[in-house]
Structure 1
């Protein structure tokens, strides 16, 4: 496949391919978990605190959009995915101002209501911002943990940095 590269470079390429495909699976799993959490927040709303029952669904929906963008475009910078997710969410929210008969019939279905929403509410934009910011911060933390654990198997020539995901009591005394 790559005849003019060394075994070390070939190993690096295979690890990199695995790293990206593994991350894609994680993002799809996170998007799926967001879907389940969002549906659960609607279904079990009677058992949840009112604040969570009212506001969590929109934030979780926006986090699902973020994880979906990351799964589709794995190499896109995190901040670009967050911005794209927010813009997509804003477009969906503003599309709710359009009230043609055909799209209202679509919104009357369960899937249409979950994807397109039912009515324009400006507070939803703040909820989307919170959901995307939470997903972004979770992504930054988990991606740094995942990257640091795999960094030892990828030749880089850089000096290792402390892993924020592992607690080492000996390093606290330095």
Structure 2
């Protein structure tokens, strides 16, 4: 149960950092994409608590890549949703190949952060 709480706290910290990355001048825009993918990774780590990190890694890639690819789909209803704050955060605005690389980087970072958390939790139980 402690691990799930740490995953939630980590997710909240990542969300804050991701939002701040959009507000602070000089931080490259791709940092927001990295944080977004890390957030997806940790939400999945929380949901699929009993699954191994590799499963969460692969599922995170599938979900983030599908969301990016759906940005190629344009209809008024979904484009209007994308113009809202929540729609922009969840679905993005337009397809970019570079976003796929940023998502992969964020998921890799999330994977190693999770491994670090898991190892520290195991050490504390030893």
TM-score, scaled relative to structure 2: 0.96
Taking the aligned partners of 2:37 and 2:29, their CA distance within structure 1 comes to: 15
Query: 1:90, CA displacement in angstroms?
Result: 0.3
* Helix, strand or coil at the partner of 1:120: coil
Deviation at 1:53, TM superposition (A): 2.2
The aligned counterpart of 1:3 is: none
The equivalent of 1:25 in structure 2 is 5
Q: Which runs of 5+ in 2 are unaligned?
A: none
Q: CA RMSD in A?
A: 0.9
More helix by share: 2
Q: Which residue of 2 aligns with 1:78?
A: 53
In the alignment, the residues of structure 1 paired with residue 23 and residue 87 of structure 2 have an alpha-carbon distance, to the nearest angstrom, of: 17
Residue 142 (structure 1) shift: 2.0
1:168 — aligned with what? none
Equivalent residue, structure 2, for 1:138: 113
In structure 1, what is the equivalent of residue 17 of structure 2?
Answer: 37
Distance 1:101 1:122 in 2: 23
Greater relative contact order (Cα < 8 A, sep 6+):
2
Answer yes or no: is 1:105 the counterpart of 2:80: yes
- Aligned twin of 1:167: none
Between Structure 1 and Structure 2, whose CA radius of gyration is higher?
A: 1
Secondary structure of residue in 2 paired with 1:75: coil
> Given the two structures, how large is their TM-score scaled by the length of structure 1?
0.70
Q: What number of residue pairs does the alignment pair up?
A: 126
The 3-state SS of whatever aligns with 1:96 is: helix
Q: How far 1:42 moved relative to its partner?
A: 0.3
Once residues 53 and 30 of structure 1 are traced to their aligned partners in structure 2, the CA distance between those partners, rounded to angstroms, is 22
| 1:64 and 2:44 are equivalent in the alignment | no
| C-alpha distance in structure 1 between counterparts of 2:45 and 2:83, whole Å | 29
Once the 2 structures are TM-superposed, how far is the Cα of residue 54 of structure 1 from its aligned partner? 2.0
Alignment match, 1:121? 96
Deviation at 1:22, TM superposition (A): 1.2
